[in-house]
Amino acid sequence: MSTRAPRARRGPTYTISELAKEFALTTRAIRFYEDCGLITPQRAGSARVYGERERVRMKLVLRGKRLGLSLAEIGELLDLYEVARNERAQLSKFLVVLRERRSRLLQQKEDIDATLAEIEGLERECRRRLKDTPDGGGPGVRAASAVGGPGSDGPADVA
């Protein structure tokens, strides 16, 4: 932790390297979040000096990313706290964002489950055909029909 401070700032200050190390990020990633307006360090000459506020915001940015939120959504949540200076508006908005994220994830899960079921069916069909096909059978039409190719009666989804 650095003891340099550009202004009369209370609390600890951090260099960009210290934050990068703490959060397992590159300094370039931290500068990117700065360019996006998610964190705003003070300057001491050309050096960036991060306070506890920026450290906490960085932690919240990374939490939002783990949850799959966009940087715009994360920024909106962070800005709500800055404007209202209380958690109520931020927490209410966060609940809405979380509900929407949960809904998208559940839909993706359903899509993944459907795809996995289709793969399992195709695998069963391929195994059955391999078991029923004598050695020496050519790969041509049989292979195409196993995956629902042209002229097949295989398990492909015909829409």
pLDDT single digits (tens) 8-55: 456 899 999 999 999 999 999 999 999 999 999 999 899 899 999 999
Phi-psi region of 51 (alpha: psi -120 to 50; beta: other; left: phi over 0): beta
Q: Bridge-partner residues for 83, per DSSP?
A: none
Average pLDDT over all residues of the chain: 84
Q: Dihedral sign, CA of 40, 43, 48, 51?
A: negative
Q: Which uninterrupted H or E stretch holds 115? A: helix 87-132
Report the SS3 class of residue 2: strand
DSSP, res 38: S
Answer yes or no: are the C-beta atoms of 76 and 70 closer than 8 Å.
Answer: no
Answer yes or no: are the C-beta atoms of 36 and 30 closer than 8 Å.
Answer: no
CATH topology of domain 1-68: Multidrug-efflux Transporter Regulator; Chain: A; Domain 2 (1.10.1660)
Provide the token pair at 86.
């209380």
Report the SS3 class of residue 44: strand
pLDDT single digits (tens) 117-144: 999 999 999 999 999 988 755 555 555 5
pLDDT single digits (tens) 54-90: 999 999 999 999 999 999 999 988 888 777 677 788 8
pTM over 0.85: no
